[in-house]
Amino acid sequence: MTTDSAGPETSASRGVDKAAIVIAGLLAAVALVLVYDANQIPATTMYGMGPQVMPVVIAIGLGILALANLIDAVRGHLPARESADPVAVLLILAGLALLIAIIGFGGGFILATTALFVTTSAAFGRRAFVTDLIIGAVLTTVIYLAFDRLLTLSLPAGPLERLL
Amino acid sequence: MDTFAALAHGMAIAVQPMNLLYALIGVFLGTAVGVLPGIGPALTVALLLPVTYKLDPGGSLIMFAGIYYGGMYGGSTTAILINTPGESASMATALEGNKMAKAGRGGPALATAAIGSFVAGTIATIGLAFLSPYLVDIAVRFGPEDYFALMCVAFITVSATFGDSPVRGLTSLFIGLTLGLIGIDKLTGQARLAFGVPELLDGVEVTTLAVGLFAVGEALYVASRRHHSEEKIEAIKGSLWMTREDWKRSWKPWLRGTAFGFPIGALPAGGAEIPTFLSYSTERRLTKYPEQFGKGAIEGVAGPEAANNASAAGTLVPLLTLGLPTSATAAMMLAGFQQYGLNPGPLLFAERPDLVWGLIASLFIANTMLLVLNLPLVGLWVKLLAIPTPWLYAGILVFATMGTIAAKPSVVELSMLAGFGVLGFLMRRFDFPIAPVVVGLILGPIAESQLRRALAISLGDPMTLLQSPISATLLAVALIALVAPFALKGLGRFKANED
Amino acid sequence: MAARTGGRRRTASLLSEGKIKKREPLARPWRGPLKSFCARLIGASVAVTFVVTFLAGAPASAQQLELKVMAPAAPGGGWDQTARAMQQAFVASGVARSVQVTNVAGAGGTVGIAQFVNGAKGDGNQLMVNGFVMVGALAMNKSPVTLEQVTPIARLTEEIQVIVVPAASPIKTAQDLAAALKADIAKVTFAGGSAGGVDHVMAALFAGTVGADAKKVNYIPFSGGGESLAAILGGKVTAGISGLSEYDGQIKSGKLRAIGVSSENRIPGVDIPTFKEQGIDLVLANWRSVVAAPGITPEQKKTLSEAVEKMVKSDSWKDILKQKGWDDAYLPGDAFAEFLKKENVRVTDVLRSVGLVKS
């Protein structure tokens, strides 16, 4: 509901939804992990309720929901999905991975966010890499200067930031 | 000192031209930093506190109040414009606000948020000035069992954010509850679901989850559907300002939001999220235009925004009267006061009335400045949506990650942000609602700790939940709220069958 | 003054809980609009120190120290404030040429100490702030890294703990509370800070000392000073435990009654009896200390110890202590190493007895 729901409702006729079955399976798996983890917690509480009770309660809830999702999946009670563009998604994820790597290796804010800017705009279909690179670099440099220098926010500094 | 005379005296100091300028600068800086997703008002104040050091006590107090209000409003701006609540309290705003923005009604949404904040802030500040001593007596009577009952009411209201399928809504909620379990258990210090990763011991940060699910997830989702180019964001459609109709539909939600926000904010463990969601679900039930909810109903912006601001003024009640900082924001306020040698506590009103009333006057002034600064800016904000989509989303991602980078620049935290982005994308793709996840993460741990505290005090006797009159009343309210819709629906069906 | 720090500490606990970053102006003196101001300030203080050291005839070699101090917590908390205070005093007293403070937050210092032990091994220019809470946190989190691996330098400060009851409570003295504990320990509820923290340890120690079963202490942890204070004021719990300065305002205004403090002797200017003079042998303080990296040479240890000693004796450190309301508890060298060991044993025993640590 935070986004527009995916397309027109043509679900009833589509039969079993494999992806939804995977979701139900994942929920059940999470429930099992919760129970397993709760069993690892030593029971130490003298009064009231221990730390292992709530995980079990939530696990039971997840188990029921896994079942409900499974029923929905088998009945095909799910809204139809439109085809997605995997390249765009992978491009943005690559951008995020680059950002994390650059920050992790001390490459600094400007390099990291410029990389994210360029990959994201490419994901949205832009092919003018050089233009976007320049726009991204200028934008992030201005952001860096405004927030780090003027507003004294602490943003990670790399080789580029030290030049400024 | 007579309350009115004291307030008038504080006001006289606050309206000096220099102080008005400080208020304006404060509001501007606060808005500028507060718009960063993941940087809520508390962090905004924390980051900008050094800027106020250079001024005299009066001036810096006023600038401080301005930063605070600016930071609050900044979070709502991103919630409405780019569906990225800057903090958990503006999540309810994003639900309808962003739908309005996408339909070209971003202007009225921002306006009703700003004016609603102003109205709520003003009423709540008056409440703070006159009702503090009485409210605080009630507030300390709230014990753990009463908070647990309050959480039960809050959980019921979450269902308003579920969308059409209760199964998928509940699934989202339980994902959030599961995430809330991660980390050290507050009551026994035992690690849960940390799998030996030390960084996980402190649990999942609400802002990281919210920014990941909302901003990153949204960007991924929109990019994946780019070739279905039917969805166009329209910057402005119809009036940029609130129409007569908008005013008519906004003023009651403002007042109701204030009525939720101020008292709950005054509770030591009340918080701002519960009143905003209570307000949202109330407006949803009371509206004359139920068909618009989920598609951009102005009531759904006006109410929660007012509740958010009123609760912020509410947290000042225990802070000023007892010296209790009951939220991260209040803790920052406390740090701010201490810069000026002001020690909130039971003796504050008696010992330093000048500074207390100066502060309350500053809050009035800052609130007014917020309106003065932001109403003219509404047009500018809305035009941001006219930026070509590739750059718009690239910019959103840069700002979204920047909040996390500035707040906690660790690889683990950024990886969690990316991971939550993927989760947000998948949930959108399979049509699971997003908001209940964040609500589960916020409310789950509070409800659990309060219940366990209550049971520890009662030595494991669950009847303690019914023996406290406050708790019993709240639980009854929760039960009615839970059962009533089903009962009404059943009745409706029964009637339909008879026809 | 005490009330002032009280607020600060409470702020700090809430901050670390909300994981909020609070910027101290000193954090990066060379950035932003503060740059020129700080440059001037530090320039001036360096000049003054130079003259002072020159007059005192101190050797200039210490000027060469370039230190890194890790605060194993988020900015704003007690450890962070200690690290930044050290930074200020080191530089202002001319003991070190530059001091850089880094924050590694997480799980009561568990994350920070792991990074310190692995990353700073053999480095004679790195220090880490730690304290009472870390002892318990390491034990509870089953940390593979322990305090035995670091090189103890000195204890710096401490804060005395207090037990309070609501003003209307029938409990008037520590002995009344002891009697209540012995009558029915389950019915005596204590409110305080996080599980395994200093407040919790104190509740268990109090019960154990008066002859009740420490294992059965009904301790209820609250998040942040605000919530526990509300629970005490509202009469939801029997008693509350906290640092003395935190409840100072409430005690003075008569809303809370202090039934005892955990110091060895009466604190000057504080009209609260110690537990000892009430016949309960309980002495406890929330201390903070500084340690160096593992595997450093004896010379490196000596240099660092001397630098810390000079820093602690400097006027700027004394000013900071006064300003923050911290009690000087300087304890250097082997005496501190001994103290650390004893506290480790004591805290781990208590936590084991209340079931927080599995043996």
Q: SS in 3 state form for chain B?
A: CCHHHHHHHHHHHHCCHHHHHHHHHHHHHHHHHHCCCCCCHHHHHHHHHHHHCCCCHHHHHHHHHHHHHHHHHHHHHHHHHHCCCCCHHHHHHHHHHHHHHHCCEHHHHHHHHHHHHHHHHHHHHHHHHHHHHHHHHHHHHCCHHHHHHHHHHHHHHHHHHCCCCHHHHHHHHHHHHHHHHCEECCCCCCEECCCCCHHHHHCCCHHHHHHHHHHHHHHHHHHHCCCCCCCCCCCECCCCCCCHHHHHHHHHHHHHHHHHHHHHHHCCCCCCHHHHHHHHHHHHHHCCCHHHCCCCCCHHHHHHHHHHHHHHHHHHHHHHHHCCCCCHHHHHHHHHHHHCCCCCCCCHHHHCHHHHHHHHHHHHHHHHHHHHHHHHHHHHHHHHHHCCHHHHHHHHHHHHHHHHHHHCCCHHHHHHHHHHHHHHHHHHHCCCCCHHHHHHHHHHHHHHHHHHHHHHHCCCCCCHHHHCHHHHHHHHHHHHHHHHHHHHHHHHHHHHHHC
Q: Which of B12-21, B54-63, C36-45 has the lowest mean pLDDT?
A: C36-45
Q: Is residue B46 over pLDDT 70?
A: no
Position A122 in a domain: yes
Per the structure, the count of domains in chain A is: 2
Position A48 in a domain: yes
Distance from CA of C257 to the nearest CA of A (A): 26
- Contact check, Cβ <8 Å, B188/A44: yes
Q: Are residues A67 and A36 in the same domain?
A: yes
Q: Are residues A33 and A100 in the same domain?
A: no
C160-285 maps to CATH 3.40.190.10: yes
- Contact check, Cβ <8 Å, C34/A154: no
Q: What is the pLDDT of residue A9?
A: 40
Label residue A57 by pLDDT band (50, 70, 90): very high
- Of B46, B117, B487, which Cα lies nearest the Cα of B272? B117
Nearest CA in chain B to A55: B181
pLDDT in tens, C223-235: 765 678 888 888 8
pLDDT in tens, B228-284: 655 555 666 666 778 888 888 888 999 999 999 888 888 776 677 888 888 888 888
Its CATH class, for the domain covering C2-158+287-349, is alpha beta
Q: Are residues A107 and A148 in the same domain?
A: yes
* Residue C142 near chain A (CB below 8 Å): no
Residue A46 belongs to what domain range? 12-75
Q: Of A75, A102, A125, which marks where a domain is finished? A: A75
**Chain A adjacent subunits, 3+ CB pairs under 8 A:** B, C
- Averaged pLDDT score across all residues of chain B: 80
pLDDT in tens, B381-426: 777 777 888 888 888 888 888 878 876 777 888 999 999 999 999 9
Chain B residues lying within 8 Å of A95, measured CB to CB: 397
Helix (H) or strand (E) holding C162: strand C151-166
Label residue B295 by pLDDT band (50, 70, 90): confident
How far apart CA B452 and CA B462 sit, in angstroms, is 10
pLDDT in tens, B306-345: 998 888 888 888 777 766 666 666 666 666 666 555 666 6
Position A95 in a domain: yes
Q: What is the pLDDT of residue C13?
A: 37
CA distances from A155 to B102, B207, B409, B412 (A): 32, 18, 8, 17
Q: Return the domain boundaries, chain C.
A: 2-158+287-349, 160-285
Of the candidates C21, C31, C358, the beta carbon closest to that of A149 is on C31
Distance from CA of A37 to the nearest CA of C (A): 15
- Contact check, Cβ <8 Å, B453/C222: yes
Position A4 in a domain: no
* Residue B233 near chain A (CB below 8 Å): no
Position A7 in a domain: no
Q: How many CB pairs under 8 A join A and B?
A: 231
Q: What is the pLDDT of residue B94?
A: 86
Given the cut 0.90, state whether the ipTM is greater than it: no
Nearest CA in chain C to B145: C236
Q: Of A75, A100, A118, which marks where a domain is finished? A: A75
Q: Are residues A53 and A91 in the same domain?
A: no
C-alpha angle B436-A62-B300 in degrees, rounded to nearest 5: 15
Q: Name the more confident of C196 and B342.
A: C196
Residue C348 tokens, joined: 């781990």
Q: What is the pLDDT of residue B352?
A: 67
Position A5 in a domain: no
- Contact check, Cβ <8 Å, B220/A121: no
